[in-house]
């Protein structure tokens, strides 16, 4: 498996490649939230991206980078939701079949979205081993090309375009803050932001109940396995060795946040900004809530990663 580390220029090329396919999402502000947190907050609204999440950027860049031969057997991935939907839509744009392996406990809203994009879905037990076994069996039967949700060079390049757009729109930011799950978004964001300006601090945010990235980065050792327990279902995955390497080099700090603060931050965004975000997005604002002195009187760019929420099971 390729383990190349993208450069800033690779992310710029990805931005050019996918520009006709993705939304250039808005950056929104809220005077009320600025007053509450005593900071100038700039929210990059990937909840308004196609498929409702930043994942469409990476999936689109990866799928557009495949050869016709690689598309012949279709495209396959395993994902709990947002990446699954992104690959399904991106595959359809190139006329390729999408095979998706999803854990049986994925949110219904994400299952329905993937089905709506016409993918062939296989459900499995909610373990990484079950996902990989199911995907490998399909690859064996179809010859489909696998596109990993985050441990993929072209996916990381695509995810980095969100951060690139943010700093191009607001070059005077002091800090850029994003959520960390498998690390694809945060890796791409860190590479883009640090490539744009070494003076901008880059911070990650992670649930306390799924803190493998925090523990890996703080210890300097890659921690591959953990048992995540968090409402932020988009952040249940562990880092890959590649994303660990990037984040260890590029992140200025990483924060862990409590579940109750994820929920209260999610509600705050809904109520004050009138936009829908999923719990994974709210982890970033929760980091500011728990560490106010780190962000006070600073200009902070915040990646809102997605807005796919089961409206029948809201946490508040």
> Is 80 part of the annotated catalytic residue set?
yes
Cα–Cα distance between 131 and 170 in angstroms, integer? 40
- Which pLDDT score is estimated for 236? 86
As a whole number of angstroms, the distance between CA 102 and CA 78 comes to: 6
Claim: this prediction has a pTM higher than 0.85 = yes
pLDDT digits (tens, 9 = 90+) for 256-310: 999 999 999 999 999 999 999 999 999 999 999 999 999 999 999 999 999 998 8
Annotated active-site residue in 40, 65, 79, 80: 80
- The helix, strand and coil proportions of the chain, stated in percent and rounded to the nearest 5, come to 50, 15, 35
To the query of whether residue 104 is one of the catalytic residues in this protein, the response is no
Q: What confidence tens digit (pLDDT) does each residue in 59-115 have? A: 999 999 999 999 999 999 998 788 999 999 999 999 999 999 998 888 788 888 899
Q: Residues 6 or more apart from 228 whose CB is under 8 A from it?
A: 207, 209, 210, 212, 235, 236
Predicted confidence (pLDDT) at residue 1 exceeds the cutoff of 90: no
**Domains defined along the chain, listed by start:** 8-54+152-304 (3.40.50.1100), 56-146 (3.40.50.1100)
Return the bridge partners of 98, or none: 75
Place of tokens 């936009």: 275
Catalytic, out of 50, 55, 111, 250: 55
């Amino acid at each position: 498996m390729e383990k190349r580390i993208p450069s800033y220029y690779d992310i710029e090329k990805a931005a050019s490649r996918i520009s006709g396919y993705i939304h250039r999402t808005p950056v929104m502000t809220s005077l009320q939230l600025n007053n509450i947190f005593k900071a100038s907050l700039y929210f990059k609204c990937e909840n308004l991206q196609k498929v409702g999440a930043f994942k469409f950027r990476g999936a689109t860049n990866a799928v557009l980078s495949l050869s016709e031969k690689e598309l012949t057997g279709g495209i396959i991935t395993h994902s709990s939701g947002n990446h699954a939907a992104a690959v399904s839509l991106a595959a359809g744009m190139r006329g390729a079949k999408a095979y998706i392996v999803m854990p049986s406990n994925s949110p219904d809203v994400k299952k329905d979205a993937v089905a709506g994009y016409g993918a062939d879905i296989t459900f499995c037990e909610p373990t990484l081993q079950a996902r990989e076994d199911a995907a490998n069996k399909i690859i064996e039967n179809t010859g489909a090309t696998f596109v990993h949700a985050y441990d993929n060079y072209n996916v990381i390049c695509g995810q980095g375009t969100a951060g690139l757009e943010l700093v191009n729109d607001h070059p005077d930011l002091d800090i850029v803050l994003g959520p960390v799950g498998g690390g694809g978004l945060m890796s791409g964001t860190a590479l883009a932001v640090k490539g744009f300006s070494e003076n901008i601090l880059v911070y990650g945010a992670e649930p306390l109940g799924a803190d493998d990235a925090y523990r890996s980065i703080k210890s300097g050792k890659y921690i591959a396995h953990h048992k995540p327990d968090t409402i932020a279902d988009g952040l249940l995955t562990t880092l890959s060795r590649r994303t660990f390497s990037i984040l260890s080099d590029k992140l200025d700090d990483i924060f862990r946040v409590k579940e109750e603060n994820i929920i209260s931050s999610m509600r705050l965004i809904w109520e004050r900004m009138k936009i829908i975000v999923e719990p994974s997005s709210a982890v970033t604002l929760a980091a500011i809530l728990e560490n106010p002195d780190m962000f006070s009187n600073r200009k902070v760019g915040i990646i809102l990663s997605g807005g796919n929420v089961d409206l029948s099971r809201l946490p508040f």
